[in-house]
Chain A
Amino acid sequence: MTAVPAAMRFDLPAPDATTQPFWDACREGTLLIKRCTDCGHAFYYPRPFCPRCWSERTEWEAANGTGTLYTYSVIEQNDLPPFDARVPYVAAMVQLAEGPRLMTNLVGVDFDAIRVDMAVTVEFRPISDEVTIPVFRPIGTSDAAGTVA
């Protein structure tokens, strides 16, 4: 894709103190989730308290990076930069092996071969100099098609 001026793109996150470790870890190739050390609940998105028992004793945990495709949509039209330069692409929700569900992208797959509940594994794609995002591909596929950036 062509370079998009920062002032004209709508995909960059604004991490705060709570979420910065998640984005930092993505740049290192690790998908972090949060787990409550009191009740054991694993959750997303990262927050400083457990959404199940409200304990403030939570810790970061490296997800093993596998999961299943909960649902998806192939986006054919989106006029907003930088998404306009990415169409067609696949938005997805993935249910991680640890339990939490996250919004992401599905890559490396023919659109016709996408199946809900298929097994997927994480990989990491930079979308700017400073931001890398976790995306997923079907397990057993190689890097061929479907890049997001």
Chain B
Amino acid sequence: MTSTANEIIERRACISGIGQSDVGRRLGRDPMELTLDACLGAIEHAGLTVADIDGLSTYPGPMTSPPGFSAAGAYDVMDALRLNVGWYNGGLETSGQLGSVINACLAVASGLANHVLCFRSVFEGSAQGVKGRASSMPGGGGGSFRASGFMEWTLPFSAPSAAIWIAMFAQRHFHEYGTTREQMAWIAINARRNAQVNPKGIYRDPMSMDDYLNARMITTPFCLYDCDVPCDGATAVIVSRIDRARDLRNRPLRVEAVGSAIHGRPSWDQFDDLSTMANRDAGAQLWTRTDLRPSDVQMLQAYDGFSWLTMSWMEALGLCEVGGSGPFIEGGERIARDGILPLNTHGGQLSGGRLHGYGFLHEAAVQMWGEGGERQIPRDVEVGAVAAGGGNTCGCLLLVKE
């Protein structure tokens, strides 16, 4: 049931516009240029001008390591666009990449801003170059390094990356529920099918089950095709106060509910149940803030930095039973564009490019506004779910067409 004692304040917020730069493995362009392409694109798409933007939010803020993980911080874009803002926010410690969007929803709902420009910009493709993803480790692949903090308990055990940690979560899930690689493969195959009809998709060659099963293993149970592809690209969305958005260019996509909770220890290895993650709590929270039910969701855009994460989000959001994501996706029919729960219709990060969370929100809006072209979901989508993040950093949104 909806908690009626307090207003569900995020319902005062909506998505009013979206923008995205070119997306590619290595574009050879200045990352700030890409960032501004996305931001200016989103402002124009909403039918606003730069002068209308009075708030700014981004994830994760400026970071020089890992290389390419963040092309611009809040101050960079506020300065570049000469914004006058009533509120701004940038940072890593929030409910995943969408935490920055959730924060923006709260800012417009509380009256600190009317139109918040939210962005995420990466150039990991160019920054990692030919060195591979190992170069994205602390220290960047050179110089002296000593593991402290949480890493003191991972690096000495040759477990340096989220790939390995999340692979271990997936393995626990496999053990508890009988999940198989043949089931998980459908996340990757579905993503590839959708990327093939996304003009910005990075990997667009057909992928078969045999291709998947014959791919080289990275960290079991993940093979190459379970891991997303680093890229260059920026994505932006405008979060508006809904009473300021009704006369704009696009039909507002109202935020029906958000999920931002984490109830276990905020740790990659000390969380109580590692067959799931913080998304368990964020997903459950979302359904306490709406009278809609999981059966009302007509589309899911859910993070696939590693394929199993999408399965975990499906369970966390109640779109299938806990432990039931494997059977649900098996065969791919249910999650196809013409299935009962179209999933990652742009190709996700696995085949569409690691735009890191924001790509899923962008795609949800594309579909709900009918701008998907060849990849458009054939039925009208009135209710869509968006989810991003993994481990201890997870956030989700439920959007409805106003």
Contacts and interface: CB of A to CB of B under 8 A. Distances in A.
Interface of A: 6-16, 19, 44-45, 51, 70-80, 83-84, 86, 89, 91-93, 101-105, 116-117, 127, 131, 133, 135, 148
A146 B141 CA distance: 26
Contact of A101 (B146, B148, B269): B269
Contacts of B168: 71-73, 91-93
B257 interface: no
A14 B152 contact: yes
A80 B134 contact: yes
Interface of B: 131-135, 137-139, 141-148, 152-161, 164, 167-169, 171-172, 175, 216-222, 265, 269-270, 274
A135 B269 CA distance: 16
Contacts of A7: 143-144
Given A44-B270, A74-B220, A148-B158, A14 B147 contact: yes
A58 to B, nearest CB: 16
A103 B143 CA distance: 25
B216 A76 contact: yes
Contacts of B220: 73-76
B147 A45 contact: no
B141 A80 contact: yes
A80 to B, nearest CB: 4
Nearest to A83: B158
19 contacts: A7-B144, A10-B147, A11-B160, A13-B148, A13-B155, A51-B265, A71-B172, A72-B171, A73-B219, A74-B220, A75-B164, A75-B218, A77-B218, A80-B134, A80-B141, A89-B158, A91-B159, A101-B269, A103-B153
Contacts of A84: 134
B130 to A, nearest CB: 11
A78 B160 contact: yes
Contacts of B132: 79
A103 B167 CA distance: 13
B152 A45 contact: yes
Contacts, number: 126
Nearest to B166: A73
A24 B146 CA distance: 17
A131 B156 contact: yes
Given A13-B146, A75-B164, A80-B134, A102 B153 contact: yes
Nearest to B151: A13
Contact of A76 (B137, B169, B217): B217
Given A13-B152, A91-B168, A104-B157, 10 more contacts: A7-B143, A10-B155, A71-B171, A71-B175, A74-B220, A75-B164, A101-B269, A103-B154, A105-B157, A131-B156
A99 to B, nearest CB: 12
Given A74-B220, A75-B158, A76-B218, A14 B146 contact: yes
B164 A91 contact: yes
A77 B219 contact: yes
A102 B148 contact: no
Contacts of B137: 10, 80
